[in-house]
Amino acid sequence: MFAGHVGAALIVKRAAPGVGLGKLVAGALLLDSLLGVFVLAGLESVKVPDDFASLHFLRFDFPVSHGLLAALSWSLVALALVRKKWGVEAGNAVGLAVFSHWPLDAIEHEPELPLALGSPRWAFRSGTSCRSPSHSRRRSSPAGSWRTGRSRAGAASASRSQPAPSWR
Ligand SMILES: [Zn+2]
């Protein structure tokens, strides 16, 4: 998703050509930078699940950096700080670049993005790889349908209980 976030910065750059691309890319990647800081500080976590070899997805617990309310708050903080230092256009553009991170992650991630601290976890659609018929059906569900996230334990047990794909 790194390329997607940089792409979002490039789109914002087209709308605000006077703002430096470095500021916009840094803004678009701010939530992941905060995730790294908060993981080191013990506030958030990233775990390698037992089925990582087949699913290729890490499990995140990141409400402070990647919650919807948190993303909005970080966007407003960035907007205010950048606006104060570099002006209104730069502040608005960087704030938008920061917030662009959340919907892109909601498309890519498993349902693990909280709306706020302690809220249910969401994703726009699953990024689960197509390794069984049920995953294939989930991938073909109409865009725009939101799915609530199960608990990690529930998701793990559900994925274990799904039938093995038949490759004929
Ligand atoms: Zn992210």
Ligand 1 mean position to 102 CA, how many Å? 7
| Residue 42 confidence class, pLDDT cut points 50, 70, 90 | very high
Choose from 69-73, 104-108, 142-146, 150-154 the range with maximum mean pLDDT: 69-73
Share of the chain above pLDDT 70, in %: 71
Dihedral of the alpha carbons of 12, 101, 2, 66, in degrees to the nearest 10: 160
Residue 137 contacts residue 165 (beta carbons within 8 Å):
no
How far is residue 48 from each of residues 61, 148, 153, 168, measured CA to CA in Å? 12, 22, 14, 31
The more confidently predicted of residues 44 and 151 is 44
Mean residue pLDDT of the chain comes to 78
Q: Which residues have C-beta under 5 Å from ligand 1, the single-atom ion? A: 31-32, 105
Ligand 1 mean position to 62 CA, how many Å? 9
CA 155 to chain centre: 18
CA 152 to chain centre: 17
Ligand 1 mean position to 84 CA, how many Å? 26
| Residue 123 confidence class, pLDDT cut points 50, 70, 90 | low
| Residue 122 confidence class, pLDDT cut points 50, 70, 90 | low
The more confidently predicted of residues 100 and 106 is 100
Ligand 1 mean position to 18 CA, how many Å? 26
pLDDT reading at 119 higher than 50: yes
pLDDT reading at 57 higher than 70: yes
